[in-house]
Amino acid sequence: MVAQNVRYDTVVIGAGPNGLTAACLLARAGRKVLLIEAAETIGGATRSAQLTLPGFVHDLGSAVHPFGLASPVFASLGLERFGLRWVHPPLPLAHPLDASRAVLLERSVAATAAGLGRDAQAYFALMRPLARWWQRIQPTVLHPLGFPRHPIAAARFGLRALLSVALLSRLLFREERAPALLAGLGGHSFLPMEAP
């Protein structure tokens, strides 16, 4: 319900994670904010609900929010005080290959690499520096453009990040599983290449 005869400094359309965050930051800065959402509940693609059997909660949109967990802005809002709980499943992701096979993203780079056959070492070499140096890279990735605080770590990440998933996969991998996993993580459409 919109309060009558109230002048707002800002109107935010959409109460998904970005709209809610913007509204919170603006309100924290002393602005009068009107947040408008068309759906009956807030949350956008981060909502979940019991759709099938009692106790089984399904994602209604996006299921994985790695940048939400890493976000300095989300951390500054203290959302845990309001009930936010980050859930870390034993297997964060499975990418189907065909009717009977899937490639798994494990909770460690080494465990994931172990399931990638001949591409295990290449995957490990690609992902281990990212995982190892995330704390140094994270400000460069999640803040406005500027000179990175850790330029060597940022450059190592940035050079690979400039390549498309398809090109990076062609350069590094020989089998189907690692490119499919990378494509799934990158959110890109990708047809797995045939192993030579």
Angle at 27 between CA 22 and CA 30, to 5 degrees: 135
Quick one: three-class SS letters along the chain? CCCCCCCCCEEEECCCHHHHHHHHHHHHCCCCEEEECCCCCCCHHHCEEECCCCCCEEECCCCCCHHHHHCHHHHHHCHHHHCCCCCCCCCCEEEECCCCCEEEECCCHHHHHHCCHHHHHHHHHHHHHHHHCHHHHHHHHHCCCCCCCCHHHHHHHHHHHCCCHHHHHHHHCCCCHHHHHHHHHHCCCCCCCCCC
Give me the pLDDT at residue 1, please.
Answer: 61
Give me the pLDDT at residue 59, please.
Answer: 82
**Greatest C-alpha distance within the chain:** 70
Token output for 163: 């390549």
pTM: 0.71
Say if CB 191 and CB 183 are below 8 A apart.
Answer: no
Give me the pLDDT at residue 195, please.
Answer: 30
Residue type, 3: A
* Alpha-carbon span 19 to 34, nearest angstrom: 11
* Alpha-carbon span 78 to 157, nearest angstrom: 29
Q: Name every residue whose Cβ is closer than 8 Å to that of residue 60 and which is 6 or more positions away in sequence.
A: 45, 47, 48, 49
* Alpha-carbon span 136 to 170, nearest angstrom: 28
* CB atoms near residue 22 (< 10 Å): 16
Q: Among 44, 14, 10, which Cα is nearest to 27's? A: 10
Give me the pLDDT at residue 192, please.
Answer: 33
Residue type, 121: Q
Which of the residues in the chain have pLDDT under 50? 188-196
Segments making up each domain of the chain, as ranges: 10-82, 93-186
